[in-house]
Amino acid sequence: GAGVSQSPSNKVTEKGKDVELRCDPISGHTALYWYRQSLGQGLEFLIYFQGNSAPDKSGLPSDRFSAERTGGSVSTLTIQRTQQEDSAVYLCASSLVGGESYEQYFGPGTRLTVT
Amino acid sequence: GNSVTQMEGPVTLSEEAFLTINCTYTATGYPSLFWYVQYPGEGLQLLLKATKADDKGSNKGFEATYRKETTSFHLEKGSVQVSDSAVYFCALSKGGGNKLTFGTGTQLKVEL
């Protein structure tokens, strides 16, 4: 079956511009996660959605970052006024339910480069 | 807060050699522990996990045992293959919807 997909696969943007990154989770998965993989910080959690509950935004590094999940499916991560330190690979993962018994399936990531 | 420390790479081994990648963690209580693998050009995928002390996770010839007394979850394989070349990440989760805290990753290169 289809896995987690992300688009675009690569994004180059100028400093100060806004960007939107998209994640399509596996159908039927109620939990969705965003992570960031960067040279300086490694792999770090950003935000977590579970069903219709309020998202856990505890990992977002600044108020320039936001995310939404429409209809319990597709999610968009938005970075406003991008900075060079935002350059990273942004990974999305989904699982059937948010819990340690449920495997997270990762997408291929979006490589963001801020020039 | 929670953290994971794993050995730095790259680790270079000959085929059929024994592999150990060390991983230690800091967390309150009893987190769940995971090893994820990222093969070249592919996404992260779960390799194995253990959810309580003394549990052993195993998959594809890899094993790791949850050691509460040493707060460790070292990854081992008795005989590596070229196809095992990848980046390996140790991770933990502690409640809160299984948000993962990752180590920095260890690159493994296996040569003929």
The arithmetic mean of pLDDT across residues B43-71, rounded, is 95
Q: What's the gap in Å between the CA of B43 and the closest CA on chain A?
A: 5
Q: Which strand (E) or helix (H) includes residue A61?
A: none
B94-98: long-range contacts, CB 8 A cutoff, minimum separation 24: B94/B2, B94/B27, B94/B28, B94/B29, B94/B31, B94/B32, B96/A48, B96/A56, B97/A31, B97/A48, B97/A50, B97/A56, B97/A98, B97/A99, B98/A31, B98/A95, B98/A98, B98/A99, B98/A100, B98/A102, B98/A104, B98/B32
Q: Is the pLDDT of residue B11 over 60?
A: yes
The arithmetic mean of pLDDT across residues B64-93, rounded, is 96
The tokens describing A112, both together, are: 């963001």
The pLDDT confidence band at residue A1, using thresholds 50, 70 and 90, is low
B21-51 pLDDT, tens digit each: 999 999 988 899 999 999 998 889 999 999 9
Report the pLDDT value the prediction gives residue B41, as an integer from 0 to 100. 86
Q: Which of B2, B4, B42, B44 to mutate to test the interface with A (most CBs of A within 10 A)?
A: B44
A48 touches chain B (CB under 8 A): yes
A49 touches chain B (CB under 8 A): no
Taking CB atoms and an 8 Å limit, are B98 and A95 in contact across chains?
yes
B16-28 pLDDT, tens digit each: 999 999 999 999 8
A52-99 pLDDT, tens digit each: 899 999 999 999 999 999 887 999 999 999 999 999 999 999 999 888
**Mean pLDDT of all residues in chain B?**
94
Taking CB atoms and an 8 Å limit, are A31 and B46 in contact across chains?
no
Report the pLDDT value the prediction gives residue B67, as an integer from 0 to 100. 96
**Mean pLDDT of all residues in chain A?**
93
Q: Where are the alpha helices (DSSP H) in A33-73?
A: none
Q: Which of residues 29-48 of B touch A (CB under 8 A)?
A: 32, 42-46
